[in-house]
Amino acid sequence: MGKVPDDASKASSSSSPPLPSAASSSTSIADTINGSQHFQINGYSLSKGIGIGKYKASDTFTVGGYQWAIYFYPDGKSVEDNAEYVSLFIALASEGSDVRALFELTLLDQSGKERHKVHSHFGRTLESGPCTLKYRGSMWGYQRFFMRSLLETSDYLKNDTISVHCIVGVVRSHTEGPKIFSIPVPPSSIGQDFGKLLESGKGADVNFEVDGEVFPAHKLEPSVFKRDKVKDILRYTVSSKVLLSH
């Protein structure tokens, strides 16, 4: 038989496809932690005239690990508006930097018709993205939220009371790797199981009789005897009953 040249061997090995490299994956997830606050301003008429830039503030409330507060300006926030508008804002009331959040401010209709005046940032995320509050005291809202003359003749003012509802959604981001699930494996009891199997005699296909006592057992055929060529040479059989004596 001729010898295969070394060059042919090298060519054969070099043509083998490269093994696939190990791959990994991770997922970046962004979602919001939402919370809300209801703020009721009683005695609206007595708040008029407190001065431009002066406000009525709600209690602080916590969303996403930060404190927030609603600010209502009866005479407006800006001098240039000459107190013709009321202003409404939501402010970061705790320490923080570059806090990204979505907001919704709603002036509630108190007539029962549910014609609320809603200013929402939640529906405009694709246009402008979340709002970023740089530091404590940063605000989001509307300097000209409602013309004061229209507010005072509307269903939003009832019994000298105004009701405001605010929703805050603080944006959080995190990265997740592949999830690893652990499956508890009970300790092996194969020795006990084999013992019980022999004691019960269940599934036994051969019996050993020793001095009149019968021991059930299980026939074991080595895989080598399952080959057709071996079967032609050697017939391996085990009778259903083997008698032993001593």
- Given a cut of 50, whether residue 246 has pLDDT beyond it is no
61-76 pLDDT per residue, tens: 999 999 999 999 999 9
pLDDT at 6: 53
Model confidence at 222, pLDDT cuts 50, 70, 90, reads low
Structure tokens at 78: 């800006």
Q: Identify the structural domains of the chain with CATH numbers, from first to last.
A: 30-173 (2.60.210.10), 200-244 (no CATH)
Comparing 43 with 191, which gets the higher pLDDT?
43
| Separation between Cα atoms, residue 165 and residue 109, nearest integer Å | 11
- The helix/strand/coil state of 158 is strand
12-46 pLDDT per residue, tens: 445 666 666 667 777 877 788 999 999 999 999 99
Contacts of residue 94, Cβ cutoff 8 Å, sequence gap at least 6: 60, 66, 67, 136
111-131 pLDDT per residue, tens: 988 899 999 888 776 667 888
Structure tokens at 37: 């606050």
Which backbone phi and psi does 148 adopt, to 5 degrees?
A: -65, -40
- DSSP H helical segments within 52-165, as ranges? 125-128, 148-151
List the beta strands (DSSP E) in the chain: 27-42, 56-57, 61-63, 66-73, 85-92, 99-107, 117-120, 131-133, 139-147, 161-176, 206-210, 213-217, 241-244
pLDDT at 72: 96
Structure tokens at 167: 């929703």
CB atoms under 10 Å from CB of 160, counted, come to 12
Look at 13-17, 52-56, 203-207 and tell me which has the smallest mean pLDDT.
13-17
- Given a cut of 50, whether residue 4 has pLDDT beyond it is no
Q: What is the pTM of this model?
A: 0.62
pLDDT at 180: 73
